[in-house]
A and B are shown apart, each in its own frame.
Chain A
């Protein structure tokens, strides 16, 4: 089935040049998001989409139109997302999608830089006093049957020469219930998922998510093959959000830099020209992104970090300077 889909894709896909032009002509960016994932893309009580993935849609809109609100959100499930991108139903996919080789090649999409490094982790009760996954020798661990989580966990314990007792269940709900009722010492799943399970509890502060990440789930926005200019725009909007944090620019302070002599910042906010012309955007595109949406730290803190109920640790998603792996090439 999957193969037929891909074949059909290859047969029927023509090049989609001119996405920027069509976005400008429509007056809105069509952005593919999830059907609801806490912290990443989810409608709030007023029906407004919010989340980390949503903010990258808003950032692209700000870069093109100067305002973050010209976005049409198209919610897609896992099966629909690539078709929607291929068939032109959306211009960019920003939907917690893992970057991997197959998707980058035969599925016919190009991945922009990773916006969130997720990965499998462990959650424990705080009173057990465990601070690292390396101390889990002999622990019983709850997980869902037949998932990659189960395999990753087995690999992790084997390579670290530790013993463990897997406690597996059919459904995700059962797994979580078992852990919170004390059937096992630890719970393993993707870290963002662990965090959102934790917020459902009466006493979230009694649980701790261990710092180790034992699998790679880089979540990245994507565009379709065949329009390099559009790919460049999406790519550099994401880099600009990361670069802004590194330069110390935020939505609150960026206006105070209008007379700066720092050449990197002058180039970034468009006081010295060149970046905008190269991308086919206005010179103040990056200024608009940061002013309207914020830098990476602001986006992260707002939706999944300390200002959100999820309270995720930045972990790998710190800047390279601070021990993470977020690294933007020079924006010049």
Chain B
């Protein structure tokens, strides 16, 4: 058995790594570079790393300062959220993870999700903000990963349907509807998210009466929704245009009205067509939420940055950024995998039919 495996490995290596001289040279070069990099990373991250001790011990060592992460990980993950109530965002995040695994199972893709998703969101929001027996925590104390998750999930949840409506509006035959929609989409796509966030946080309050203070988090959330809706609209429009006109004509011939045509014939096909760009936009949006740092909301990126300004722990930016990058990577990786799975399932069901 073992010999068989060895043989297979040798065979695989011969075929893929060393088929001829030129290929072999490249393979050897790449292996040397790879091993070198691996050695450097191991050296930095494991062998010379500092696991215990304060910042001066870290400065003495040449490796990674993991005691910085040990000291700061709670702050980076949860920001200034009151420590005595920390179990609430933790429970909230665990619920999201459970839901996520629930959601990736194909047998759970049904209408009940329309109920489960908002319910989960309200439980999450209730856990963070308190009330009904839990002591209230005002939203200026929210930060870190829970805030990133909140901004991005609410953003996706609201802007995706909004984007579908905009896409339908853009293709509408009524000029009174389609022109404003085109203007909106082009305007939003023409400015960077950062400037919309700035407008919402710096300009807007100046034009409101003094006693009217719209919550900063709410303003940021609306800005993110308005922005990504325009992008989703264009993605969905791509899907709508890819369908042959015969589909719509056939639906009409069957006597379906506009709403029925879109709901049962056009959208189900169009949305499946554009799963990859949709997930692309979602991942982009998830990462874009880190821009709220410019309006001084402490999302995951913001807490990482501000953890670097503690006078006792100055100068460990590489460690902090790698820590945050890993979290972003894990989440984005799972989103990407999920999109592949969805595509696969739909392709399968199409082939079966």
A16 on interface, CB distance cutoff 8 Å:
yes
Contacts of B294 in A (CB 8 A): 77
Is there a chain B Cβ closer than 8 Å to A75's Cβ? yes
- Expressed in whole angstroms, the minimum distance between the Cβ of B89 and any Cβ of chain A is 12
Residue of B nearest to A13 (CB): B210
A194 to B110 alpha-carbon distance, docked (Å): 60
Instruction: Specify the main secondary structure of chain B where it touches its partner.
Output: helix
Chain A residues 1 to 46 lying within 8 A of chain B, measured CB to CB, are 5, 8-9, 12-14, 16, 35-39, 42-46
A173 to chain B, nearest CB (A): 9
A35 touches B296 (CB 8 A): yes
CA distance A13 to B211 in the complex (A): 11
Determine if B59 and A202 form an interchain contact, defined as CB atoms under 8 angstroms apart: yes
A72 neighbours in B (Cβ, 8 Å): 138, 140
* B171 at the A interface (CB under 8 A): no
Residue-by-residue, is B273-298 near A (CB-CB < 8 Å gives 1, otherwise 0)? 00000000000000000000111101
Which one, A44, A51, A77, contacts B296 given CB within 8 A?
A77
Query: What residues of chain B lie closer than 8 Å to A12, measured between beta carbons?
Result: 206-207, 210
- Of the four ranges (under 10, 10 to 19, 20 to 34, 35 or more), the interface on chain A belongs to 35 or more
Known: A42-B310, A87-B210. A202 touches B75 (CB 8 A): no
Which residues in A have their C-beta under 8 angstroms from that of B306?
Answer: 35-36, 42-43, 75
Q: Are B81 and A47 in contact (CB under 8 A)?
A: yes
A48 to B306 alpha-carbon distance, docked (Å): 12
B241 contacts chain A at the CB level, 8 A cutoff? no
User: Whose C-beta in chain A lies nearest to the C-beta of B82?
Assistant: A47
Chain A residue, CB-CB nearest to B309 = A36
Chain B residues whose C-beta falls within 8 Å of the C-beta of A47 in the assembled complex? 74-75, 78-83, 143
Residue of B whose beta carbon sits closest to that of A41: B309
The yes or no answer to B314 lying at the interface (CB within 8 A) is yes
Set of chain B residues within 8 Å of A84, measured between Cβ atoms: 205
- Nearest CB to that of A72 among chain B residues? B140
Question: A75 vs B298: C-alpha distance in the bound complex, in angstroms?
Answer: 9
Q: Are A45 and B296 in contact (CB under 8 A)?
A: no
In the bound complex, residues from chain B placing their C-beta under 8 Å from that of A214 are: none
B22 interface hit (Cβ, 8 Å): no
| Interface membership of chain B positions 138-154, coded 1 if the CB is closer than 8 angstroms to chain A and 0 otherwise | 10100100000000000
Contacts of A51 in B (CB 8 A): 311
Q: Across the interface, which residues of B come within 8 angstroms of A202, CB to CB? A: 59-60
Q: Which of A38, A48, A76 contacts B311 (CB 8 A)?
A: A38
Contacts of B74 in A (CB 8 A): 45-47
A: which residues have CB within 8 A of B?
5, 8-9, 12-14, 16, 35-39, 42-49, 51, 72-77, 79-80, 83-84, 86-89, 196, 199-202, 303, 308-310
Could you jot down 9 A-B contacts, CB within 8 Å? A35-B306, A38-B311, A47-B74, A80-B201, A80-B202, A83-B206, A86-B206, A199-B314, A309-B311
A-contacting residues of B (Cβ < 8 Å)? 55, 59-60, 71-72, 74-75, 78-83, 138, 140, 143, 198, 201-203, 205-208, 210-211, 213, 216, 293-296, 298, 302, 305-315
Using A8-B207, A84-B205 as known contacts, list a sample of 12 further A-B pairs with CB atoms less than 8 Å apart, ordered by residue number in A: A12-B206, A38-B310, A45-B71, A72-B140, A77-B295, A80-B202, A83-B202, A83-B205, A86-B206, A196-B314, A199-B314, A308-B311
